[in-house]
Structure 1
Amino acid sequence: MSQDSTTRIAVGIRAWIATAPPGARLPSNRALVAEHSASPVTVQKAMRTLIDAGLVESRPGIGTFVRAVRATRPADYGWQAGALGAPPARLSALSSTQRSVAPDAIGLHSGYPASDLLPERAVRAAISRAARSSAAITRSPVTGMPELQEWFAHELAASAPSGVTPPAARDVLVISGSQSGLSSIFRAVVGPGQPLLIESPTYWGAMLAAEQAGVILVPVPSGPDGPDPDEVDRALERTGARAFYAQPTFANPMGGQWTAEVADAVLEVVRRRGAFLVEDDWAHDLAIDADPRPIAAHDDDGHVIYLRSLTKSVSPALRVASVIARGPARERILTDRAAESMYVSGLLQAAALDVVTQPAWRTHLKSLRPQLRARRDLLRDSVREHAPTAHIETTPKGGLNLWARLPDGTDAALVVREAEARGLIIAAGDEWFPAEPSGPYVRLNYSSDDPGRFPEAARILGDVLDAVAG
């Protein structure tokens, strides 16, 4: 189909919108394909022009709807440019993982698992019970519900070897998602203008939190087995940094896991240097081919500040996580959290505690592992068959994502745009690097909706790569 066909379809939909009330739902993309005898790509392009024009809005998982058109003059916000000044670099746009997509698109960009991989029945029942409890009308302690503190402490203590004093419930701070915990740690423990070692590549949200806190990022190369401990040591000595942010278990985006030898060596380095390891155990419950091995379980002198979140494994609606820290570091983080949010909703804490203490929780985790493995392998094999130039450097041992290296010289941003025009939404790898990327990458989420479309997604990616290369 030509550009004229895209324009013709867009004009036809505009005419329909002109007679439809605000909020009316548009026909599905499949219906428009049939009505206009057009390809899905052409309909997608036509729909994108209407979204860009502000005539319709897409609500993922629901449909596309007519926007309410305001007849009043556009607001003038020009004065804010002088008041706000230049934005920090990473605040200029949302992460590609956060953008909304058309309902018929194949979304492999998100950082969250599909709802069918979550304990939905348990979550709904727990929220209902929590709503009938005193948690619905009382204030939670600033450090969190004592029972939930105890659960987080017990979970980490279960991995502690003999001879290591495990954390106590008093060492636990319940927080509203690990992102808020990162912000507090970077402000309270590192401080503005101070250096922070960080793996490269790494979680984009950690870099955002660090930059908002005014922290100076110091990249340390990392691979599927973790960073070189000697490089960590040299970086600490060279920069004078007193903290190293890392994801030793199923790192985002690569899915790798530090070897036991690397973990022991890095822990010894931070001990010798008098530094902190900020261990982000975001994927603790998302194991596939290996069990999690928290480094914090081997630390009893306060060098490891440990984050554990339930958002990805229980429900995105229950933003409950914890920070486990000891000594003055805990007090500084607690003071920062109290100033920012005062306390976490007791209703959410009660619901989260209910879910993870039910027998069904362990059953769910056992069933989750083979489901993630099947989806991971299906997407990996589909990419290898239909998009062989998107090289998957390692099969992740856990987590939610494949990390694919594109051919040298490929414009990853262009690949993402062209894929979206064909109905596939993926994320360019640039935003996972704290400095210049080491090469062109894309991240593909294998825990997304409708794995039956993974082969179709891989074919689109392969076609795009062929077209870009040509």
Structure 2
Amino acid sequence: MSNSSSSRLLAESIAQEIALLPEGTRIATHRELVRRFAASGTTVSAALALLAQRGLIAPRPGAGTYRTAARPVAHIGDTSWQEAALDAAGTEIGALRDFQAPALLQTLSTSGPDIVDLNGGYLHPGLQPLGTLATAMSRAARRTQAWDRPPAGGLAELRDWFAADIGGGLGRHDILVCAAGQSALAIALRALAQPGDPVLLESPTYPGAIAAAHAAGLRPVPVPMDVDGLHADHLDRALARTRARVIIVQPLFQNPTGASVSVARQEEIRAIARRHGAFVIEDDFARHMAHVDASTVPPPMVAGDPDGTVVHIRSLTKVTSPNLRVAAIAARGPVLARLRSAHVIDTLIVPAPLQLTALEVVTAPGWRRALKALSVALAHRRDVATEAVVAAFGDHSLARRPRGGYHLWVSLPAHLDEHQLVPAALATGVAITPGTNFSATGNSLRHVRLSYVAAPSAADVDDAIRRLAPLLIEH
């Protein structure tokens, strides 16, 4: 049974239960539903999302999920024909596209108040620069151009800021403002490759890259990594074998391994890509997430790329709020025109109020102070999480202890895999991310990723990780 059909069946079962509840009643928690129906956390999340779409339930952040007021619903006829129509739509090129993204949806799932979130990749509100964001939005709304149509490529002032922030001699005409990193990644893949083409990905890699590749009709090809990032020899052989024209690289504090690409490895990757006539999409999502004790981080790959091999993505979302969905694509040469066309077809423009808010944030007097405070907080949470992981999983479980980013890549004991641990962890009130989500082939990686930024405090992170220890014991 597919995951989508499982979630629909579960949604019907839950709907029957809550139909008898009066309006305003809190329904069973995510954790209770996982235990009661013996379902995965992903399936339960998808079922609850279906019920919310139908207007049967509504989440209240920090308080739980509640039965909504009954409302008349139009009769739904037989929609079974849609399955055949959707299958028929993929007879040739369309068959290459896949819009199933359970791993990506899992990163967006919301946990109930009784669940400690070690799955999410966005800052808890306690880590966000909320004062700066509120002031920026207020100032942006008062600007006269807030409700005028912005240029298709983005506001000139914001493009100037991104060019300076990325460096490498880029100018405003090398910058395209997009609606956050995931959108920029999807635009770049559609612009640079044709359906059916291979695309080379780090192994393991970010689920959003895998999902975007499938949605563009591309064929993900995993390439192994070592301590310095994408393995150059394997990359060279993969390009020769597949004739791929696109490579995706996360240069700093890679998701999920935490690896950073050294300057020497950057030069190797650029040279190999240039020799094979391939583009490197540089997803620089963690550029502003270096920890306070980090040594000097390598510059972005685009900075040493005069030939236009690298297409760079720089987002503000990770270090501000999931709602400040503003990013930039930087590229040199004719490829930028292709990227701009793909962006216009997809979104036309990024709303001016959002761009102006982003501009107010990054030019505010407290912007650098906020980044410094975040770097201190991230280092503290990393230390707490690392100590807890060593206590619960053993020192051998961490091959790398990154000095940047927001997560740890934890190996599991030989007798256990993520398919066993993840639902068991959720049943104890802890949401973690299975390593399978980061596999382009869907194979078990015998790892879990533990994020330490979505929980309310470092103490919550510590308690949640240590709570996993009994689940690791071999029976």
TM superposition score category, shorter chain reference: 0.7 to 0.9
Aligned pair in 2 of structure 1 residues 419, 395: CA closer, same or farther (>3 Å)?
same
- The structure with the largest alpha-carbon Rg is 1
Q: Write the distance in 1 (CA, Å) between the matches of 2:231 and 2:312.
A: 21
Q: TM-score, normalised by structure 2?
A: 0.85
Shift of 1:98: 1.8
Q: Secondary structure at the match of 2:199?
A: strand
**Which segment is superposed worse, 264-273 or 201-210?**
264-273
Aligned pair in 2 of structure 1 residues 456, 74: CA closer, same or farther (>3 Å)?
farther
Q: Secondary structure at the match of 2:341?
A: helix
Q: Secondary structure at the match of 1:402?
A: strand
Partner of 1:152: 162
Q: Write the distance in 2 (CA, Å) between the matches of 1:48 and 1:409.
A: 21
Mapped contact 1:142–1:338 kept (Cα < 8 A): yes
Task: Supply the AA of the counterpart residue of 2:195.
Answer: P
Aligned pair in 2 of structure 1 residues 126, 28: CA closer, same or farther (>3 Å)?
farther
Partner of 2:5: none
Partner of 1:256: 259
Q: Write the distance in 2 (CA, Å) between the matches of 1:445 and 1:202.
A: 15
1:322 counterpart = 2:328: yes
Aligned pair in 2 of structure 1 residues 152, 387: CA closer, same or farther (>3 Å)?
same
Shift of 1:333: 0.7
Shift of 1:79: 2.2
Partner of 1:280: 283
Q: Secondary structure at the match of 1:442?
A: strand
Pick the aligned partner of 1:402 from 408, 428, 435. Answer: 408
Residues matched between the structures, number: 436
1:388 counterpart = 2:394: yes
Q: TM-score, normalised by structure 1?
A: 0.85
1:183 counterpart = 2:190: no
Partner of 1:299: 305
Shift of 1:134: 2.2
Shift of 1:321: 0.2
1:270 counterpart = 2:289: no
Shift of 1:413: 1.8
Percent of matched pairs sharing the same residue = 36
Equivalent residues in 2 for 1:103-182, closer than 5 Å: 103-157=113-167, 160=168, 166-182=169-185
Partner of 1:415: 421
Q: Write the distance in 1 (CA, Å) between the matches of 2:318 and 2:467.
A: 28
1:459 counterpart = 2:466: yes
Aligned pair in 2 of structure 1 residues 43, 190: CA closer, same or farther (>3 Å)?
closer
Task: Supply the AA of the counterpart residue of 2:275.
Answer: R
Mapped contact 2:417–2:444 kept (Cα < 8 A): no
Mapped contact 1:409–1:440 kept (Cα < 8 A): no
Q: Write the distance in 1 (CA, Å) between the matches of 2:355 and 2:270.
A: 31
Shift of 1:324: 0.4
Post-superposition Cα deviations, 1:196-238, rounded to whole Å, max 9, x if no partner, equal 1111111110111111111121211013421221221121112
Q: Write the distance in 2 (CA, Å) between the matches of 1:213 and 1:43.
A: 35
- Structure 2 residue runs of 5 or longer lacking an equivalent are 1-15
**Which segment is superposed worse, 200-209 or 235-244?**
235-244
Two-structure CA RMSD over aligned residues (Å): 2.8
Shift of 1:357: 1.0
Post-superposition Cα deviations, 1:439-469, rounded to whole Å, max 9, x if no partner, equal 3111111112222122321232112222xx3
Q: Secondary structure at the match of 2:366?
A: helix
Aligned pair in 2 of structure 1 residues 16, 170: CA closer, same or farther (>3 Å)?
closer
Shift of 1:375: 0.3
Q: Secondary structure at the match of 1:279?
A: strand
Shift of 1:45: 4.2
Q: Write the distance in 2 (CA, Å) between the matches of 1:452 and 1:286.
A: 21
Partner of 1:192: 195
Shift of 1:75: 5.8
Q: Write the distance in 2 (CA, Å) between the matches of 1:293 and 1:370.
A: 21
Mapped contact 2:31–2:426 kept (Cα < 8 A): no
Aligned pair in 2 of structure 1 residues 342, 43: CA closer, same or farther (>3 Å)?
closer
Q: Write the distance in 2 (CA, Å) between the matches of 1:139 and 1:271.
A: 38
Aligned pair in 2 of structure 1 residues 150, 16: CA closer, same or farther (>3 Å)?
closer
Q: Secondary structure at the match of 1:91?
A: coil
Q: Write the distance in 2 (CA, Å) between the matches of 1:308 and 1:105.
A: 31
Q: Write the distance in 2 (CA, Å) between the matches of 1:462 and 1:57.
A: 34
- Structure 1 residue runs of 5 or longer lacking an equivalent are 1-13, 30-39, 161-165
Q: Secondary structure at the match of 1:358?
A: coil
Q: Write the distance in 1 (CA, Å) between the matches of 2:442 and 2:26.
A: 42
Mapped contact 2:418–2:444 kept (Cα < 8 A): no
Shift of 1:178: 1.3
Mapped contact 1:167–1:300 kept (Cα < 8 A): no
